Amino acid sequence: MAVAERESLTEPSPKGWLKVPRIRSSGDVAFLVSAGLLLVFCFFAIWPQALSTYDPTINNLGLRHKPPGVADNKGGPVHFLGTDHMGRDEWSRLVWGARASMTVGGLGLLLGAIVGVSVGLVAGFRGGWADRIAMRIVDIFLSFPYILIAIVWASLIGTDMKSLILIVGVRGWVEFARITRGQALSIREREYVTAARALGAHDVRIVFRHILPNTVAPILVVAGYELGRLILLEATLSFLTIGIRPPTPAWGSMLSDARNYMNQAWWTVLFPGMFISLIVMAGNFLGDSLRDKLDPTLRGRA
Amino acid sequence: MYQFFTHRFLQGVVTILIVSVVVFVFVHASGDPAALMVPVEDATPQAIQEMRERLGTDRPLYVQYFSFMGGFWRGDTIKSFRYEEPITDVVGRAIIRTMILAGGAMVIGIVLAVPLGTLAALTRGSILDVIVRIIAVFGQSMPSFWVAMLLMLYISVKLQWLPVSGIGVKHAILPIATLSFFQTALLLRLMRSEMLEVIHTDYVRTARSKGLREFVVVYRHALRNAAIPIVTMAGLQLSGLIQGAVVVEPIFAWPGLGFVLVNAIFLKDYPVVVGGALLAAVLVTVINLLVDLFYGYLDPRIRVS
Amino acid sequence: MTKWTVKLKVVLALVLALVVTVACGGSSAEPVVVEKEVVVEKEVIKEVPVEKQVVVEKEVVREVPKVEVVESEKVIEIEKEVVVEKEVVKEVMVVATPTAAPPPAEEKQFRTLRVSQLANPIQLSCWFITGVDELDVLNHVSEPMIRFNREGALDNIVAEAWDYESPTSYLFNIRKGVKFHDPAYGEITAEDVEASLKACYKPEGQTKGRVPPPLVNHELEIVDDYTVRVKMPAPGTAELPNVMSAFGFITSKKYLEETGSWPHTEQDGFGKAPFGAGAFTFEEWVQNERMVMEKFPDYWGPDPGVDRIEWRIIPDAFTRKSEFLTGGVDVLPFLLPEWQPEIAANPDVHIESVLSSRFVFVVLPVREAPYNDKRVRKALNYAVNKVEIAEQLFRGTGAIPLTGVTHPFLPEVDPDRVGYPYDPEKAKSLLDEARADGVDVGKITFMATNDRYTLDKETGEAVAGYWREIGLDVEYIPQSRSVLFPPGIGLELKVPWMIGNGNALLRASTPYFYWLEKRPEPRSRGDYYANGPDEWDDLIVKLSATTSGSEESVKLARQLDELYTEYAPWVFLVNYVDLYGVHNDVLWKPYPHEYRLFLDVKFRD
């Protein structure tokens, strides 16, 4: 999902309906850096074997909590980010941990986007009861601390990858629905939509030809922010020990495991926290710079 | 205005009702409390049935729901399975403590974000702006439990400036700081971008061209318009703050809603879970209602639409 | 501005004012409560001298307890009040004991001890014990008949003497003149003992799964006011002390009648406010925050050396340690081995350690495939490197790799026993053998607690890792004790799971005894101890009848230990060494049985 987004951004589609500007100046550093970071994390997630030096799940109790740069006691490569409470290589776990975060965060985002955009389009375009019901549900989601539902749910359906994606995705659709509905509401009153309708265009055609393309930009902005938010949710659940189970590495559960040893092994606390921050930051920056680029009112004067 | 208020009020009531049903069903779907409460050795079907009768979980779900809601309304008839106390006592006490954290974080967030965000927007591209943006990005991307641990380690253990955990005035500072870190970042960023938008609008330009002093322009014309989304967001963020509290409270052993609810969820103490979630929803809805009213006062257009 | 907005503003202001008032009222409520509580304590002190003069002399002057929560102004107020109270006390003294010379006032300080607890107990009734937190509190307030001391021997507490009458009956002599905390309830008599034991062992109690069925079905006969006879339907009385010291707490019959009943009724006063004749009176329980007890001046036994104990409920381990290092708690149980250097480096605190009566093991469901194959059970044992767990995970605390069922510190333990040394090759070949015979080992689901024992989650993770190393597919699920233990003890778990054997099991026969006793009631806790063949029953009954440490006992115990280990119903792991962090101004030694008893505390000035 995230990859697709970015590629389509840097190279606007030949059709030209996606109104994305080319990268023009050094002012786009933030965008480039965050997109690059996300790409790196995607690479981690897709092909962790390429960069990890150890199997992230194999214990080595003789090498517990060794600081960064320690030599292996069994002749393996240097543990350059140290080892964790089970003697596992911290760097390899971080690399593999990207898979959990990116899968749960990314697929949750995709799920949320599909559901949210559909709901938003229907609500915004149809209006009436569908709109009211949809917006009421959105209100509820916004007014209710979702983490409580997530905790109950996670302890109910168990916490394998699929359940986590579902739990995270259910939180993700709200923002998409809101933004899409807003766009659809304003676009459906535009002249060209009225014109299309007058020419006898079918509703489905109007939605897909006119409304959806015009909502892509704000959806992408929301996606940037949501990615960070959903990854944080996953990390929080893992931290509460109801996320991804050991020994599968996930940044949240790595932090949760390490919290007791903060004074003994700072590297086990610093790095996973940093990685979570980095990926959330990348998502936010992406949202920010997309917003700056895509928001017509801001673009004119910059 | 009257109509607007009634409308929002009814909407709030519906929201609370739906939340109550959702939470109730969810929680009941997650297992039979009676099976957990019966002493293990006696976990015969009869014993579990007796326990169900005692807890009232043998009745149809909708009856349980109405009796629960009735008890919730009356305030004291529903008891926690575990605490041997009415849930409203358990949850009520906890929610006040959580509100202290959330309120503190909210106030700090607004007090810091409004002036700093405004300044950053007015001096767009300056060092101040860059610093503000960095703070905003960091605050939003660091997981709150991580911040909590770092704060406890450095402020309480290394420097020994503040107590580690527990209830009290000094004890509240670190949890509030943790929560307000995220809150400030969020509002800061919003304030900056809103302000940027507002100061380029026609009416601000007009005000400037009238020769008004910059302070007056910003304070009278720009700030008021930029504040509208801030107020909305601050209200909406309440549920975000409670979400943060769920993780931060157990770390600081601050027995608020998060502490109690996480405990209750792990112990399958359903009345506390449902009651707590419901109270949280009521609280958030009421505050959002107030925010809407304030919003209506700030922006007259809302009242008529 | 329209008039609507004006009205609205007024309404808003009112609502906001209301919210603020409520919020402030709520927040300022805390210190007010504390203040009140302190004042009440002073009233109690006032009554003391009139009752018993000897104790009064010790108790004449108390310093103000340090109440952190209260803001500075309020502390000053309290101090003023205390000064007034002191004067009153002195006046009473003069009237009551004109000849007694009061000791120098400055010598005695009011001492508060703060201890961290793992969790907020559900309730404190002896029939609802689910963890160590409840036992810690109960042992101070409502004492048992007998209790193990630091050397593993039995001390008489409420009992003055006791003896076996026959293999199925005991005679207890009750200590005379043991006063309850409230004079209205008088002194402990046989009636109180009968009512208390009945309550503690009542069939519907949560504790029953841990109490042997004979004791649950016991008969209690009152011989006279200070003598009771406990009769049990089956032999095995030798185990009674263990159980009596762990789960039977003596309180007043009258108090139970007035308040006690189980469960979930409005009258369960005991669960909320335990009462008895112990060294401390239960003062206050602030849910999820703390439990407070104060020294009972009329206690029959020696002065505990501390005036007030605060049990602070801190669920997070890192927070507990931080509180300890910054002086928020004086005693830190469940100190992690990893923290030893950090604690040792701090000049204000030190570590106390004791060889624990608790060892941990993995229960294998011997009736389920593939664990019904002995070779699989043995392979799972050989695969685990217990020495590495003890040395690396427990960081040289002295934790002992477990080689059998008998506790390593009992005289019955065979010094030459080897158990299952680490041998992954042997494990693999045993598995291959089993597989060749058509045993499908398949995926192993393995559960452990993450909030009960020292390093429980990590130990489980290590075990799962060793099993993976011999090529097994293992799913490891750590979870809360409140979720894992009920189905585990209730035998609903059909998968391997980890538990510890602990509190006060200081006899060689006890584990087998539990197992023997489960036969009439197969769902009792005992079943997970073993599912060995019936032929062992005779041996167990014989062992139960022996005196601990006798030649006969040693012989039988070693024989059983060998049989049992060979049968491999558990994966043997380690015997703990319990670590406690203690502040340097507190002199206190921990007990092997994991209860934190503060009955002989000394303070260094």
* Alpha carbon distance C309, C288 (integer Å): 16
Residues in chain C: 605
Q: What confidence category does residue C452 fall into, taking pLDDT thresholds of 50, 70 and 90?
A: confident
**pLDDT (0 to 100) of residue A14:** 41
Residue pairs spanning A and B at CB distance below 8 A: 124
Instruction: Name which of C498, C475, C383 is nearest C430 in CA terms.
Output: C383
The contacts of residue B302 (CB under 8 Å, 6+ apart) are: B4, B295, B296
How far apart are the C-alpha atoms of C138 and C142, rounded to whole Å? 5
Q: Please confirm whether the linkage preceding C167 is cis (ω < 30° from 0).
A: no
H helix or E strand, kind and range, residue B233: helix B223-251
Report the 10 Å Cβ neighbour count for C183. Answer: 11
How far apart are the C-alpha atoms of A142 and A147, rounded to whole Å?
12
State residue C215's pLDDT score. Answer: 66
What pLDDT is recorded for position C23?
40
pLDDT given at position A87: 92
Query: Among C215-229, C410-424, C520-534, whose mean pLDDT is lowest?
Result: C520-534
Decide: B176 and B105 in contact? Cβ < 8 Å: yes
In angstroms, what is the C-alpha Rg of chain A?
A: 22
C-alpha distances out from residue B77 to B74, B87, B88, Å: 7, 9, 9
C-beta atoms of A262 and B149 within 8 A: yes
According to the 3-state scheme, what is the secondary structure of C514-553? HHHHCCCCCCCHHHHHCCCCCCHHHHHHHHHHCCCCCHHH
What are residue C583's DSSP bridge partners?
C349
Contacts of residue A174, Cβ cutoff 8 Å, sequence gap at least 6? A112, A116, A138, A141, A142
Chain C positions in Cβ-Cβ contact with residue B169 (cut-off 8 Å)? 71
Q: What would the DSSP string read from start to end of chain A?
A: -HHHHHHHHHS--TT--S--PPP-SGGGHHHHHHHHHHHHHHHHHH-GGGT-SS-TT---GGGTTPPTTBPPTTS---BTT-B-TTS-BHHHHHHHHHHHHHIIIIIHHHHHHHHHHHHHHHHHHH-HHHHHHHHHHHHHHHHS-HHHHHHHHHHHH--SHHHHHHHHHHHHHHHHHHHHHHHHHHHTTSHHHHHHHHTT--HHHHIIIIIHHHHHHHHHHHHHHHHHHHHHHHHHHHHTT-SSPTTS--HHHHHHHHGGGTTT-HHHHHHHHHHHHHHHHHHHHHHHHHHHHH-HHHHTT-
Residue with tokens 């809407």: B292
What is the sign, positive or negative, of the torsion defined by CA atoms of B42, C250, C260, B86? negative
Residue C297 contacts by C-beta under 8 Å, 6 or more apart in sequence?
Answer: C48, C51, C52, C55, C56, C59
Chains within contact range of chain B (3+ C-beta pairs < 8 Å)? A, C
Which residues of chain C have a CB within 8 Å of the CB of B100?
Answer: 23, 26-27
**C338 lies within 8 A of chain A by CB:** yes
User: Which residues in chain A have Cβ-Cβ distances shorter than 8 Å to B243?
Assistant: 145-147
B32 alpha carbon, distance to own chain's centre: 29
Q: How many CB pairs under 8 A join A and C?
A: 59
Average confidence (pLDDT) over C576-603? 92
The pLDDT, as a whole number, for residue A76 is 86
Q: Are A218 and A121 in contact (CB under 8 A)?
A: no
Q: Per DSSP, which regions of B52-149 are E strands?
A: none
Residue C202, Cβ neighbours under 10 Å: how many?
15
Higher-pLDDT residue of A198, C17: A198
The pLDDT of residue B79 is above 50: yes
Cα separation, C32 vs A233, in Å, equals 38
Distance, in angstroms, between C74 CA and closest chain B CA? 13
Q: Could you give the CA distance from residue A160 to residue C436 in angstroms, rounded to a whole number?
A: 33
> Terminus-to-terminus CA distance in chain C, angstroms?
71
Q: Cβ separation of C23 and B255 shorter than 8 Å? A: no
Q: Are strands C570-583 and C400-401 parallel, antiparallel or unpaired?
A: antiparallel
Query: At residue C31, does pLDDT exceed 50?
Result: no
In chain B, residues with a C-beta closer than 8 Å to the C-beta of A260 are none
Decide if B30 touches A, using CB distance below 8 A: yes
Decide: C288 and B97 in contact? Cβ < 8 Å: no
Average confidence score pLDDT of chain C: 77
Does the pLDDT at position C550 exceed 60? yes
CB atoms within 10 A of CB A153: 22
Tell me if residue B97 falls in helix, strand or coil.
helix
Which residues 468-497 in chain C show a CB within 8 A of chain B? 480, 482-483, 486-487, 489-490, 492
Residue B171, both tokens: 């004890």
Cβ of A143 and B288 within 8 Å? yes
Around Cβ C111, how many Cβ atoms within 10 Å? Answer: 21
Longest dimension (CA), chain B: 85
Phi (first) and psi of residue A132, to 5 degrees: -60, -45
Residues 43-102 in B contacting A (C-alpha not used; CB under 8 Å): none
For residues B296 and B303, the answer to whether their CB atoms sit within 8 Å is yes
Nearest-Cα distance to chain A for B284, in Å, is 6
Q: Which of B21, B132, B137 is most worth mutating to test chain A (most A CB atoms within 10 A of its CB)?
A: B137
Two structure tokens written together for A296: 């017509």
* Residue bearing tokens 């770390």: B251
Best-predicted range by mean pLDDT (A191-205, B61-75, B218-232, C501-515): A191-205
On whether any CB of chain C is under 8 Å from the CB of B298, the answer is: no
Residue C72 has pLDDT above 50, yes or no: no
**Residue C78 — pLDDT band, cuts 50, 70, 90?**
very low
Whether residue A245 lies within 8 A of chain C, CB to CB, comes out as yes
Tracing tokens 């409670």 back to the chain, one arrives at B242
Residue among B1, B6, B41 with most chain C CBs within 10 A, to mutate: B41
Amino acid at position B19, single letter: V
Q: Give the three-class secondary structure for C358.
A: strand
Band of residue C47 on the pLDDT scale cut at 50, 70, 90: very low
Say yes or no: ipTM exceeds 0.90. Answer: no
Cα nearest neighbour of A63 on chain C: C392
Contact C569, C377 (CB under 8 A): yes
Distance from CA of B136 to the nearest CA of A (A): 10
Determine contact, residues B178/B148, Cβ cutoff 8 Å: yes
d(CA A47, CA A70): 25
* In chain C, % of residues over pLDDT 70: 72
Distance CA B140, CA B146 (A): 12
Tokens of residue A195, six digits = 């014109």
Angle (CA) A228 B239 A235, round 5°: 35
pLDDT digits (tens, 9 = 90+) for C359-379: 999 988 887 889 889 999 999
Which candidate in C27, C288, C313 is best for mutational testing of the B interface (most B CBs within 10 A)? C288
pLDDT tens digits for B19-37?
778 777 766 665 555 555 5
Q: pTM value?
A: 0.79
Q: Which chains sit next to A, with 3 or more Cβ pairs under 8 A?
A: B, C
What is the length of chain A? 302
CA A30, A32, A33 angle in degrees (round to 5)?
Answer: 65
With contact defined as beta carbons under 8 Å apart, do C243 and C215 qualify? yes
Does the beta-carbon distance from A143 to B146 stay under 8 Å?
A: no
Structure tokens at A291: 């917003």
Q: For residue B54, which residues of chain C lie inside 8 Å, CB to CB?
A: 263-264
> How many angstroms separate the CA atoms of B295 and B163, rounded?
39
- What pLDDT sits at residue C488? 72
- What the block records as the tokens of C196 is 């208390």
Q: Within an 8 Å CB–CB cutoff, is residue B78 touching chain C?
A: no
Q: Which of C140-144, C160-164, C339-343 has the lowest mean pLDDT?
A: C160-164
Sequential pLDDT tens for chain A (302 residues): 333 433 334 333 444 444 444 444 445 777 888 889 999 999 999 999 888 899 999 999 999 999 999 988 888 899 989 999 999 999 999 999 999 888 999 999 999 999 999 999 888 888 788 888 888 888 778 777 788 778 777 766 666 788 889 888 888 898 899 888 888 888 877 788 888 888 887 888 888 887 888 788 888 888 888 888 888 888 888 888 778 888 889 998 899 889 889 888 989 999 999 999 999 888 888 887 777 777 655 443 32
Interchain proximity B90–C287, CB inside 8 Å: yes
- Give me the pLDDT at residue C336, please: 93
Q: Are C489 and C518 in contact (CB under 8 A)?
A: no
B141/A284 CB distance under 8 A = yes
CB-based contact C414:C402 (threshold 8 Å): no
Distance CA C283, CA C295 (A): 10
Q: Is the pLDDT of residue C481 over 70?
A: yes
Taking the alpha carbons at both ends of chain A, their separation in whole angstroms is: 30
Buried-state track A170-199, b at ≥16 Cβ within 10 A, e below 16: bbbbbbbbbbbbebbbebbeeeebeebeee
Q: How far is CA B285 from CA B11, B279, C8, C398, in A?
A: 9, 10, 18, 56
What gap in Å lies between CA C509 and CA C564, rounded to an integer?
12
| Min Cα separation C392/chain A (Å) | 6
Handedness of CA C92, C94, C99, C104 (dihedral sign): positive
